[in-house]
Structure 1
Amino acid sequence: MIRILLADDQRLVRAGIRGILDDEDDLHVVAEAADGRAALAACRELLPDVVLMDIRMPGTDGLEAARRIAADERLADVKVVMLTTFDLDEYVYGALRSGATGFLLKDTEPAELLHAVRVAARGDALISPSVTRRLIAEFAERPERSRTPDRRLDVLTGREREVMRLIAAGRTNGEIAAQLVVSPLTAKTHVSRIMAKLGARDRSQVVVMAYEYGLVVPGAPAD
């Protein structure tokens, strides 16, 4: 059973999302919160698997709450998916860097929302395509970096760097396995080792590191 916390300042929005989630046998909403502070308190008390967090809330907003969740070692297993009505939100990059597992737009179809919750619970990143474009544009607009990858990537093997490039391109474990002609278990092991070596909380942070550390250049093909 995947335990979910809903954080949104609009009661009607919470009710609509809850209705979608509670119809599923493997999903259960354990609590609701109307602002980031209440969401953080509920996380510490209930330890949900996934938090669906609105970005813009009064008081402590969703971004600050996500940062605090990511910084709390007791909440290391809690995955945060940000919900927004803005596909060009200027805080996308900062929130991903701070530990949000993914972003979804509020006009996402119910089936996509359910898929996102399950993907997040597994520890995989889930980002709306339009938000992914915004993230890549953020890096593309920055001053040109050295084409030599950061020395912090020296801990990775050649195959792990290859896998990291594919993660940054949005490939799932199954797609990585197919492209590299390895088993899905081997692909998953590579991903886990990359996260452990780089100290990444989840795949979203691996994506950010791939760009930050110069492994991937915006606009260049992943393979």
Structure 2
Amino acid sequence: MTTPPASIDMNRAPTTDLDERSQGDDLAELTDDCHPPAKPHRWHEEVAKVTLLSDREFQVFRLLGNGSSNRGIARNLRITERTAKAHMSQIMAKLGVESRLQAGLVSYTYQLAILYDIPHFGF
């Protein structure tokens, strides 16, 4: 094993350029750049549209939020995979989302809001 040169203090924490300069304004700038303003209540508008879903679409929606694939949804509901995909298309259109992933996130958010009785979602 190689020993470090005597000029290196192994007990001292490594430094960065930020350590060397004033952190007040620079750190604020970094924070502003790294954290754009968050949209309040992410998925709020989409979750409010859940009431537009039919009973069957809602069943698909719930399974989607639990992480089920189209094949898994079809098997669970005893429908064809093609029918599950058709329901997914309708769900995405009604919620106003662009992808299955977004629909899944809306479903997951909806289920968490119900589980924890979060009132600001308005259902």
Instruction: Give TM-score scaled by structure 2 length.
Output: 0.51
1:165 counterpart = 2:62: yes
- 1:196 maps to what in 2? 93
Q: Which has the higher helix share?
A: 2
Ranges in structure 2 where 5+ consecutive residues have no aligned partner: 1-33, 116-123
Secondary structure at 1:182 match in 2: coil
AA aligned to 1:180 is: L
Please state how far the C-alpha of 1:193 moved relative to its aligned partner. 0.5
Question: After superposition, where does 1:1-223 map in structure 2 within 5 Å?
Answer: 151-212=48-109, 214=110, 216-217=111-112
Give the deviation of 1:182 after TM superposition: 0.5
The higher relative CO (CA closer than 8 Å, separation ≥ 6) is in: 2
Q: Output the amino acid matched with 1:152.
A: K
| Displaced runs of 4 or more, over 2 A | none
Cα pair distance change 1:172/1:211, threshold 3 Å: closer
| AA partner of residue 196 (structure 1) | A
Determine what percentage of the aligned residue pairs are the same residue.
36
> What residue ranges of structure 1 are gaps of 5+ in the alignment?
1-60, 65-93, 99-149
Q: Report the aligned-residue RMSD.
A: 2.8
Name the residue aligned to 2:16: none
Give 1:176 shift: 0.5
Larger proportion of strand: 1
- Is the CA contact (8 Å cut-off) linking 2:49 and 2:94 kept in structure 1? no
Q: Render the CA deviation track for 1:184-210: whole Å, top value 9, x for unaligned.
A: 111110011000111111111112212
The DSSP-based 3-state class of the residue aligned with 1:217 is helix
- Alpha-carbon deviation of 1:177? 0.4
**What TM-score comes out, normalization by structure 1 length?**
0.29
